[in-house]
Amino acid sequence: MQIRMVATTPFTDQKPGTSGLRKRVQAFRQPHYLENFVQSIFDTIDVPAGATLALGGDGRHYNREAIQVILKMAAANGFGRVLVGKGGILSTPAASCVIRKYKTHGGIILSASHNPGGPDGDFGIKYNTANGGPAPEKITEAIYAASKTIAQYRIADAPDIALDELGDSRLGDMTVSVIDPVSDYAELMESLFDFAAIRALLSNGFRIRFDAMHAVTGPYAREIFVNRLGAPADSVINAEPLEDFGGGHPDPNLTYAHELVEALYGGNAPDFGAASDGDGDRNMILGRHFFVTPSDSLAILAANAHLVPGYQQGLAGIARSMPTSAAADRVAAALGIPCYETPTGWKFFGNLMDAGKVTLCGEESFGTGSDHIREKDGLWAVLFWLNILAARKQPVEAIVREHWARFGRNVYSRHDYEGIPIDAANGVMQRLHDRFAELQACPEQGRGGAQFGHLQVRRCDDFSYTDPVDGSVSQGQGIRILFVDGSRIVFRLSGTGTEGATLRIYLESYEPDVSKHHLDAQQALATLISIALGVSELRQRTGRERPTVIT
């Protein structure tokens, strides 16, 4: 095997976002583009001689080609072994599981998560550290710095590796181990949940429907739900991973998972429905004619964790991203455990979990997980719900409404405005910043906050976070308008898109009155929605009359 040193010049746009580097496929196909970023990773992480790397992705277009490049670069950069999923497949939760189980020197995950795929779609790459979690900001910033000064990369001249047969092969001095992408993860799930109780539930006429959205979780769902839990084969739909996700948008929400939604809201609906996303780390939970918000889902899992074998020892704490509703905070208070509010991005939960401060964590963007790995985990959340359903023997809706009756309902919604011009999105955010002084209370001047009907503004800020473990500070994490009664509006630019900007508005109010728990969320939040559009001047500045997606 010959190692080549290839001269290159930096690209200016390789700054990782909240989940690595995401660009259009054609951007990654530029000569040296992928290689530059991979070499920047290897130059940053200080690879020990003979180290092991995990590698895989969600199967989207360019996945296989990128894996062959990364294997040859890993061999040239001194790795002793790479564990790669068969066919190049490895869901993000499964990659975290493999990294932790085999104590690798981290892993490279190829995915753009819930973004569309195909030749004209998106691609992504990120590095996860040895704890199994996404690289923290200090590492991603170092990778970006390296990408701005790179002058050469190392790659081996060698034939491609056969990815569709399990077993070991050699690439120069490096071993490539093609592994079953499902088995390690499935065994971990079986160690956490009461599979016998779930099997009994499914054998007693309880019907489920899981939509893999032609993304990575199809093989995982078949193995776990069908082979190990005995669900009928047609319980899993769209189970074949496709490079373009069947032309769909692999984002498990009420808009894009429309086939599942139509089934759960139709006649003769299944008892339980769920979907996952492109790389398997997100989830959507549905009951018959009933949608469970991700914020409520996290709170309900925490309140019922004592019913699940892997969590019966109790929870150390709960963490949620700032835009996620405070429903989990109420459960934490009842359990007498801490609840941490972090910026968006799973990497912020990693320190808390490694320090033993939290057990469960979640984001409103359909991501939920625990300290069993260091990524959010879609199938894990589905199994957690099935375990609760098997133990409580109640429908999904009844469990949610009993939870609201006990803790009150945090009425919540997210409005996404996707693909808007970046200048317009930045203009909205700047306008909000400019209005802080006008909106919030100023006790020194004897002035209260702005009044909007029965709602009065208490404070406005741009959320910042000080990590309680390492003291690092993350600023500019989202604009908050906080009201005296606990209601709030949050504006945030998402870091997961590749085209234009995605502006998200999060709306939340607390309703303790059970007689009002039946109200539709958009109806209950109508006043907050009106305030949000007014103070931000969003329609005038973007030309958008309505959100792209409402969840």
Of 181, 204, 232, which marks where a domain is finished? 181
- Are residues 197 and 49 part of one domain? no
Backbone angles phi, psi at 515, to 5 degrees: -65, -15
Query: Confidence band (pLDDT; 50, 70, 90) for 495?
Result: low
> At 493, is the secondary structure helix, strand, or coil?
strand
* 21, pLDDT greater than 70: yes
Residues 168 and 238 in one domain: no
Q: Which residues contact 187 (CB under 8 A, 6 or more apart)?
A: none
At 508 the three-state DSSP class reads strand
| 166 and 230 in a common domain | no
**pLDDT for the residue 204:** 95
- Binning pLDDT at 50, 70 and 90, where does residue 17 land? confident
Percent of the chain with pLDDT strictly greater than 70: 99
DSSP, collapsed to helix, strand or coil, labels residue 411 as strand
283 Cβ contact partners less than 8 Å away, ≥ 6 residues apart = 252, 274, 275, 276, 294, 297, 366, 367, 368, 378, 379, 381, 382
Q: Exposure of 141 by Cβ count < 10 A (0-12 exposed, 13-18 middle, 19+ buried)?
A: middle
Domain containing 514 — which CATH number? 3.30.310.50
Per-residue pLDDT tens for 298-326?
999 999 999 999 999 999 999 999 999 99
Per-residue confidence band for 524, with pLDDT thresholds at 50, 70 and 90: very high
Number of structural domains in the chain: 3
pTM beyond 0.85: the answer is: yes
User: Which residue's structure tokens are 């500070």?
Assistant: 473
The one-letter amino acid code at 268 reads: N
Question: Does the structure show a pLDDT above 90 at 500?
Answer: no
Tokens 């209601």 — which residue?
487
Name the band, by pLDDT with cuts 50, 70 and 90, for residue 498.
low
CA 222, distance to chain mean position in Å, is: 22
Same domain (yes/no): 28, 171: yes
Relative to beta strand 208-211, strand 272-276 is parallel
In this structure, are 191 and 153 located in the same domain?
no
298 with 309, same domain: the answer is yes
Amino acid (one-letter) located at 357 = K
Q: Which of 407, 424, 448 is the last residue of a domain?
A: 407
* pLDDT tens-digit series, residues 358-393: 999 999 989 999 999 999 999 999 999 999 999 999
| In a shared domain, residues 376 and 437 | no
Give the lowest-confidence range in 73-82, 231-240, 488-497.
Answer: 488-497
Please give the pLDDT value at position 533: 95
Q: What is the CATH number of the domain that holds 40?
A: 3.40.120.10
What is the predicted pLDDT for the residue at 346?
A: 85
pLDDT tens for 124-179 read 999 999 999 999 888 999 999 999 999 999 999 999 999 999 999 999 999 999 99
Instruction: Give whichever of 336-350, 399-413, 424-438, 499-513 has the largest mean pLDDT.
Output: 399-413
Active site residues: 113
Is the same domain home to 353 and 221? yes
Residues 521 and 464 in one domain: yes
pLDDT digits (tens, 9 = 90+) for 403-427: 999 999 999 999 999 989 999 999 9
The arithmetic mean of pLDDT across residues 497-503, rounded, is: 76
Residues 288, 236 within the same domain: yes
Residue ending a domain, choose from 356, 386, 407: 407
Rounded CA-CA distance 334/329 in Å is 9
pLDDT averaged over every residue in the chain = 95
Nearest to 345 by CA among 314, 323, 326: 323
Q: Is the pLDDT of residue 400 over 90?
A: yes
DSSP 106-125: -EEEE--TTS--STTSEEEE
Q: Which of 414, 469, 96 lies closest to 284 in space, CA to CA?
A: 414
3-state secondary structure 40-85: HHHHHHCCCCCCEEEEEECCCCCHHHHHHHHHHHHHHCCCCEEEEE
Residues 295 and 194 both lie in one domain = yes
Structure tokens at 195: 């599979």
Beta strands per DSSP E along 228-384: 236-237, 272-276, 283-287, 290-292, 318-321, 339-342, 360-363, 367-370
Q: Is pLDDT at 496 greater than 80 in this prediction?
A: no
pLDDT score of 499 more than 70: no
- What residue numbers bound the domain in which 364 lies? 185-407
- The whole-number average pLDDT for the span 452-459 is 92
Q: Provide the pLDDT confidence category of residue 268 given band limits of 50, 70 and 90.
A: very high
| Three-class DSSP labels, 220-259 | HHHHHHHHHCCCCHHHEECCCCCCCHHHCCCCCCCCCCHH
Identify whether the C-beta of residue 156 lies closer than 8 Å to the C-beta of residue 3.
Answer: yes
**Does one domain contain both 351 and 457?**
no
Res. 497: pLDDT tops 70: no
32-74 pLDDT per residue, tens? 999 999 999 999 998 999 999 999 999 999 999 999 999 999 9
